[in-house]
Chain A
Amino acid sequence: MSALPEYRTRILLEHENVPLVSGVFVRPGESTPQDIPELPVFLKAQIPGATSRKSHGLVRRVDTCEELEHNLNILLSPGKWGQAEGVLITEGLDLETEYYAGCMLDFGNGDRLPGGVLLFSTEGGSGVEVRSGSLLKMRFSLLHPPATDEIEKELKVLENLKEHKAVAEFLEGMISTYIRYKLIVLEVNPLGVLKDGTVLAVDCRAEFENSAVSKSDREIFFPPEIGSSKNLTRLEEIVELINRDDPSGTGFFRQNRETPLEDSLRVATNLCGGGGKMLWEMTTGSRTDIFTMNESDTSGGLSAFKSYRILRVILAQKEAQVLLLTGSGMAFQNQYHLAAAVWKALKESPTPLPSLLRFGGTDEDKAQALFEKVSGSLPVPVRTYPPEVFPNAMVDDIMEIASVETETGKEYVPPSGEPAIIVERPPGKIYFYPEKWTGEEAPPSVKACPTGFLEWKNGKLSTNPEARCIGCLMCETASILEGTCELRVHLELPREVD
């Protein structure tokens, strides 16, 4: 869930003709606009994620032009709050009354259908949303949202509210905004009433799901000049880019922001599936001797190419001591393909980690057998587990494997020459070295291709346009295991990870 600052929430409300206090937005580097509202005004620094602006001095009332220039300069410069997206300058109105209005989702239960909930209170001001006793709660349908008169009828129970119709019209516009942009939360606080009875939004905010933003609205929710406002770490940003380049399956990665206890064991995890994450948490949640460096979920039928890329990121976490890879049960991803990705990542990462790997699902036995063959050649110890062994048993081995002395990884050298094949999705480059295969029949790499994408015609490598590369790494795996080494796969990372 992401938060939308006030100036961008105002854009959404404006689109639905919801009345707003007049205001202008100033970006860093811009000069003071000519069309600022009449003084006094409020300056509101727009900081992504900031929730208590007043306590940080990010909202300031100014009464003179000199104060305006001075405070604008301060708020537009980087400060203890970071760099503001800009400053919203709004008119300092003399409000007759202040109310609170909010929209949120009701996820329903066994007895109640889900829907939206409109919250309204005749008390405005900070903290009203938790003073539930003063709140009117009106459930509404997202499919058939309420009309003004229906809202007005609900408002009639509030004896101290005078402007029923005007407020109902305002709230209808708010609900329309909420539904149109599929927001999770939309708040107007205060909702102000002027002496002449005009109702308008004085301050507002919204929360939204990234997946709910339509293409046509991306400029509002993710302005290109702002960049990432999600407070991501460097490695998390790389995983975002990996997902952008290859959206198949799930590629979730989040680093632990907590400080590990000094003597705790730092475990990097590749937990395949949301259930896998739950299993690991159930196993280690109460243990202070194990610090989980990250959460991750690679599942949903992603390619081995993508598994490799995310593993390279997971392995790059500084101070990680062990890699633990497990799903919750049986994966849909072919486990031999996953094993090939793990093997490649452990070989090519400059910071490989001693690894505990549990494979469950199609070709789980082949996945285990692969590591029985190759683990001796890796710079780190690797232990594999069948699906019958769960994280609660794997964790018993974790201290022991962490204590094994390991070699450092070698610097990865990309394949030389020009790629023979460039795969667009999932993205990857295939290099072929004909001098290493002089046989007439197809080399091991081609024979291993499960889809028939790679072909061997007249003693040359070619591709079948009717078939596709699924990014399984079977070609490279076979060529190495057979000792012929005629083919290599190069999987670029969107940024330097190590």
Chain B
Amino acid sequence: MPGIVKYLAGVDTPETLVFGITGRQGKSKSRLMNKFGTHIIAGCTPGKGGQEVDGVPVFNSAAEAVETFPQLNTAVFFVPAGAVKKAAMDAMDAGLKFLVLTADGVPSHDEILLKEYASTKDSVYLGPNTVGLLDTEGYLFGLIGGSATWAKKNYKPGKVGVISRSGGLSQLLGAFHCRPNLPGIREDGSYGPLWGEDYPGLSAVVCVGGDPVPGISMLDAAKAFEKDPRTEIIAAYGETGTTQENDLAAAVIDGRITKPIVIFLGGKFTKAGVAQSHAGAMIRNNSETWEAKNRALLNAGITVVERPDAVFGAVRDRLKS
């Protein structure tokens, strides 16, 4: 069965190019991805073409890599923030369809420019400032899991699709839906196992990143889960800043999204105009406040919870109903 990238970018079988594969993080995360099952067939570092990293050939540009491996369709970037724009445009020009930009601190101008550039190309990208994407079909892009062993142990196939603007919560929302006997808050208010050995499991985790101009938005990810036959329910983490949650709510109201959604909405006490460690969480106008988002989500019939551990019980309840 195709994974979530099929519905995000039209890619059935990801064949992956790693930008920055010769760097410290690029090398170690490529090992993680490869061990999890991601098919990495080439690397790219300008000036280091001709080298090999763990048997993977390195090219100077995406175009060179695609010339040798025309089946390439996906790229993951472990490059410094200042180099992301150029590298991503290079990959889009080479025809790669799905990009994952992990770097934190990409300038807002570069993010906006990339968004416009991608709109003229047949490419979509996740991030910047994302831990990536994990699909229980057997591939991951980015950093999710920390180690392949841990990721394989903690992310099991099932029916929950996770969307998150936080790296840590991406990992947690995914993993906890795969834990037998997970304790949590039950319908009667008591605390105890939410399910037995029959945990709901996971289709995929999509971390849209913590920046103000995400490539793939929460709504884009929700649309992909809407099409994904494995996914029965969406569990999400949203927060203040950007209009992603508002857009998601509007899509539920007009029927573009019909699958149930449970969202933990953070930032209830975030003050407007104050910079946050997630650059995208800064409130720039009234529609980006916690109150405005909470109202919009509730109006759309989306279950909103104010504690992360309330997500799992709510998911169980929505699945039952």
Interface residues of A (CB under 8 A from B): 1, 105, 107-111, 113-116, 141-143, 179, 182, 184, 209, 211-212, 214, 250, 252, 272-279, 281-282, 285-286, 295, 297, 299-301, 327-334, 360-362, 387-388, 390, 392-393, 468
Q: B interface vs A, CB < 8 Å?
A: 24-25, 81-82, 104-113, 115-117, 119, 131, 143-147, 150, 154, 164-173, 175-176, 182-183, 210, 212-213, 217, 219, 237, 239, 242-244, 246-247, 250-251, 266-270, 275-278, 281, 284, 306-309
- Give which listed residue, A179, A297, A329, contacts B173 with CB less than 8 A: A329
10 contacts between A and B (CB under 8 A): A110-B243, A111-B247, A114-B115, A252-B277, A275-B165, A275-B167, A278-B266, A281-B269, A300-B104, A301-B143
Write out the residue numbers on chain B whose beta carbons fall within 8 Å of the beta carbon of A330.
Answer: 146, 154, 168, 171-172, 175
**A1 and B307 contact, CB distance less than 8 A:** no
Nearest B-chain residue to A183, judged by Cβ: B109
Q: Which residue of B lies closest to A334 (CB)?
A: B146
Tell me the bound Cα distance from A275 to B171 in angstroms. 11
Contact of A278 among B154, B239, B244 (CB under 8 A): B239
* Beta-carbon nearest neighbor of A215 in chain B: B82
Q: How far is the CA of A362 from the CA of B183 in the complex (A)?
A: 20
Which residue of B105, B116, B250, B309 contacts A114 across the interface (Cβ within 8 Å)?
B116
Which residues does chain B contribute within 8 Å of A390, judged by CB atoms?
A: 307-309
| B210 contacts across to A, CB distance below 8 A | 274
Cβ of A182 and Cβ of B107 under 8 Å apart?
yes
Taking a contact as CB atoms closer than 8 A, the residue among B81, B267, B275, B309 that contacts A211 in the complex is B81
Tell me how far the C-beta of A257 lies from the nearest C-beta in chain B, rounded to whole angstroms.
11
Say which residue of A114, A272, A286 sits within 8 Å of B168 (CB atoms).
A272
The interface residues of chain A lying within 8 Å CB-to-CB of B237 are 275, 328
Asked whether, in the complex, the Cβ of B116 is within 8 Å of the Cβ of A141, the reply is yes
Indicate if the CB atoms of B269 and A285 lie closer than 8 Å: yes
Do residues B116 and A110 form an inter-chain contact, with CB atoms below 8 A?
no
B-chain residues with CB within 8 Å of residue A328 when the two chains form the complex: 166-169, 172, 237, 308
Q: A107-B112, A113-B115, A252-B277 are in contact. Are A299 and B168 (CB under 8 A)?
A: yes
A274 touches B147 (CB 8 A): no
Asked, given contacts A142-B112, A179-B109, A278-B239, whether A273 binds B167 with beta carbons under 8 Å apart, the answer is yes
Q: What chain B residues lie within 8 Å of A184 (beta carbons)?
A: 108
Ranked 6 nearest A-B pairs via Cβ? A329-B172, A285-B269, A275-B166, A110-B247, A330-B171, A278-B266
A475, chain B: closest CB distance, angstroms? 19
Complex: how many Å from CA A329 to CA B115? 29
Knowing A113-B119, A211-B105, A212-B108, the reply to whether A362 touches B146 (Cβ < 8 A) is yes
Q: What chain A residues lie within 8 Å of B164 (beta carbons)?
A: 275
B109: chain A residues at CB < 8 Å are 105, 142, 179, 182, 212
- A392 and B307 form a contact (CB under 8 A): yes
Closest CB of chain A to B167's CB: distance in Å? 6
* Bound Cα distance from A222 to B145, whole angstroms: 38
Q: Cβ of A142: which chain B residues have Cβ within 8 Å of it? A: 109, 112-113, 116
Closest residue on chain B to residue A214 by CB atoms:
B82
* Minimum Cβ distance to chain B for residue A336 (Å): 11
17 additional A-B pairs beyond A107-B108, A278-B278, A331-B168, beta carbons within 8 Å, are A105-B108, A110-B251, A114-B112, A143-B116, A179-B109, A212-B108, A274-B277, A276-B168, A281-B269, A295-B277, A327-B168, A329-B173, A329-B308, A330-B172, A332-B144, A390-B307, A468-B24
Question: Considering the chains assembled together, what is the distance between the CA atoms of A330 and B166 in angstroms?
Answer: 10
User: Nearest Cβ in chain A — how far from B294, in angstroms?
Assistant: 12
